[in-house]
Amino acid sequence: MGGASEAGGSRGDSRGLLLLAAPRFFPRPATMSATTSDSRLAPRVETIFVALAFAGMLTGVVAEWRGAPETLVWIGYGVAYGFGGWFGLRAGLDAIRHLRVDIDLLMILAALGALAVGAPFEGAMLLFLFSLSNVLQHYAIGRSRSAIEALMELRPETALVRRGDDLVETPLADVEVDDVFVVKPGDRLPLDGTVVVGESEVDQASLTGESVPVTKRLGDDVFGGTINGGGSLEVCVTKAAGETALAQMIRLVEEAHGEKAETQRLIDRLEQPYALGVIGLTIAALAVGLALGGAFDPSFYRAMTLMVAASPCAIIISTPAAVLSAIANGARRGVLFKGGVYVEEVATVEAIAFDKTGTLTEGKTRLTDVGLLEGIAEDELLALAAGVQARSEHHLARATVEAAVTRGLVLPDAKGFKATAGKGVEASVNGGAVRIGNPQFFGGENGLAPALDAVGAMQERGRTAILVTRDGVALGVLGFADTLRPGAADVVRDLRHRGVEHIVMLTGDNRHVAERIAREAGVDRVYADLLPEQKVEIVREIRETVGPVAMVGDGVNDAPALAAATVGVAMGAAGTDVALETADLVLMADDLDGLSYAIALSRAARRTLVANLGFALAMIVVMLGFILTVGLPLPLAVVGHEGSTVLVSLNGLRLLGFRR
- CA nearest neighbour of 89 among 18, 23, 17: 23
CB atoms within 10 A of CB 320: 22
Locate the domains of the chain by residue range.
Answer: 4-148+256-325+605-657, 158-243, 366-481
Cα-based distances in Å from 14 to 66, 86, 378, 413: 19, 19, 101, 93
Q: Is the pLDDT at 428 greater than 90, yes or no?
A: yes
Q: Is the pLDDT at 619 greater than 70, yes or no?
A: yes
Condensed to tens digits (0 to 9), the pLDDT of residues 467-482 reads 999 998 999 999 988 8
Asked if 324 and 658 touch (Cβ cutoff 8 Å), the reply is no
Compute and round to an integer the Cα radius of gyration of the chain.
33
Asked if 235 and 180 touch (Cβ cutoff 8 Å), the reply is yes
> What is the DSSP secondary-structure string of 490-558?
HHHHHHHHTT--EEEEE-SS-HHHHHHHHHHHT-SEEE-S--HHHHHHHHHHHHHHT--EEEEE-SSTT
Look at residue 41 in the predicted model and tell me its pLDDT: 57
Look at residue 352 in the predicted model and tell me its pLDDT: 96
Percentage of the chain modeled with pLDDT above 90: 31
Q: How many CA atoms lie within 13 A of 590 on its CB side?
A: 17
Asked if 297 and 321 touch (Cβ cutoff 8 Å), the reply is no
In whole angstroms, give the CA distance from residue 327 to residue 253.
Answer: 8
For residues 436-461, give the mean pLDDT. 84
- Percent helix / strand / coil, the chain, rounded to 5: 55, 15, 25
Among 19-28, 574-583, 643-652, which stretch is predicted with the lowest mean pLDDT? 19-28
Condensed to tens digits (0 to 9), the pLDDT of residues 350-406 reads 999 999 888 888 877 889 899 998 788 999 999 999 999 998 878 889 899 999 999
CB atoms within 10 A of CB 501: 12
User: pLDDT confidence of 146, banded at 50, 70, 90?
Assistant: low
Q: What's the burial of 195, exposed, middle or buried (CB within 10 Å: 0-12/13-18/19+)? A: buried
Asked if 422 and 393 touch (Cβ cutoff 8 Å), the reply is no
Q: What's the burial of 235, exposed, middle or buried (CB within 10 Å: 0-12/13-18/19+)? A: buried
Look at residue 107 in the predicted model and tell me its pLDDT: 82
**Which tops the pLDDT comparison, 85 or 262?**
85
For residues 282-309, give the mean pLDDT. 87
Beta bridge partners of 590: none
- CA nearest neighbour of 360 among 565, 215, 516: 516
Look at residue 462 in the predicted model and tell me its pLDDT: 79
- CA nearest neighbour of 315 among 114, 54, 133: 133
Beta bridge partners of 391: none
**Which tops the pLDDT comparison, 173 or 3?**
173
Condensed to tens digits (0 to 9), the pLDDT of residues 586-595 reads 888 878 889 9
Beta bridge partners of 182: 160, 234
Asked if 309 and 641 touch (Cβ cutoff 8 Å), the reply is yes
For residues 207-225, give the mean pLDDT. 82
> What is the DSSP secondary-structure string of 381-447?
HHHHHHHHHTT--SHHHHHHHHHHHHTTPPPPP-EEEEEETTTEEEEEETTEEEEEE-GGGGTT-TT
Look at residue 484 in the predicted model and tell me its pLDDT: 87
Look at residue 149 in the predicted model and tell me its pLDDT: 60
Look at residue 148 in the predicted model and tell me its pLDDT: 55
For residues 53-57, give the mean pLDDT. 92
Where residue 355 falls (left for φ over 0; alpha for ψ -120 to 50; beta otherwise) is: beta
The pair phi, psi for residue 227, each rounded to 5°, is: -110, 125
Look at residue 22 in the predicted model and tell me its pLDDT: 32
In whole angstroms, give the CA distance from residue 649 to residue 633.
Answer: 25
For residues 613-641, give the mean pLDDT. 89
Catalytic annotation, residues: 355
Condensed to tens digits (0 to 9), the pLDDT of residues 1-51 reads 344 333 333 333 333 323 323 332 333 333 333 333 344 556 678 889 989
Asked if 137 and 118 touch (Cβ cutoff 8 Å), the reply is no
For residues 95-118, give the mean pLDDT. 82
CB atoms within 10 A of CB 512: 17
Average pLDDT, the chain: 83
Q: Is the pLDDT at 210 greater than 80, yes or no?
A: no
Look at residue 78 in the predicted model and tell me its pLDDT: 92
Degrees, nearest 5: CA angle 567-569-572: 170
Q: How many helices (H) and strands (E) does the chain have?
A: 21, 22
In whole angstroms, give the CA distance from residue 79 to residue 26.
Answer: 10
Collect all residues with Cβ–Cβ distance below 8 Å to 174 and sequence separation of at least 6.
none
The DSSP 8-state label assigned to residue 103 in this structure reads: H
Q: Give the torsion sign (CA, 595, 599, 605, 608).
A: negative
Range 158-243: architecture per CATH: Distorted Sandwich (2.70)
Look at residue 478 in the predicted model and tell me its pLDDT: 94
Coil, strand or helix at 233: strand
pTM over 0.85: no
Cα-based distances in Å from 550 to 270, 332, 350, 472, 578: 30, 22, 8, 42, 18
Q: How many CA atoms lie within 13 A of 146 on its CB side?
A: 10
Asked if 271 and 263 touch (Cβ cutoff 8 Å), the reply is no
> What is the DSSP secondary-structure string of 565-597?
SSEEEEESGGG-HHHHHH-SEEE-SS-THHHHH
Look at residue 4 in the predicted model and tell me its pLDDT: 38
Q: Is the pLDDT at 137 greater than 80, yes or no?
A: no
Look at residue 15 in the predicted model and tell me its pLDDT: 36
CB atoms within 10 A of CB 368: 17
Cα-based distances in Å from 298 to 125, 287, 301, 302: 19, 12, 5, 6
In whole angstroms, give the CA distance from residue 641 to residue 647.
Answer: 10
- For the ranges 272-276, 526-530, 582-586, the one whose mean pLDDT is highest: 526-530
Look at residue 567 in the predicted model and tell me its pLDDT: 92
Look at residue 628 in the predicted model and tell me its pLDDT: 86
Q: Is the pLDDT at 209 greater than 70, yes or no?
A: no
In whole angstroms, give the CA distance from residue 119 to residue 60.
Answer: 12
Q: Is the pLDDT at 348 greater than 90, yes or no?
A: yes
Please, what is the end-to-end C-alpha distance for the chain in angstroms? 49
Beta bridge partners of 484: 361
Asked if 335 and 306 touch (Cβ cutoff 8 Å), the reply is no
Look at residue 579 in the predicted model and tell me its pLDDT: 60
Under CATH, what is the fold of the domain 366-481? Calcium-transporting ATPase, cytoplasmic domain N (3.40.1110)
For residues 493-521, give the mean pLDDT. 89
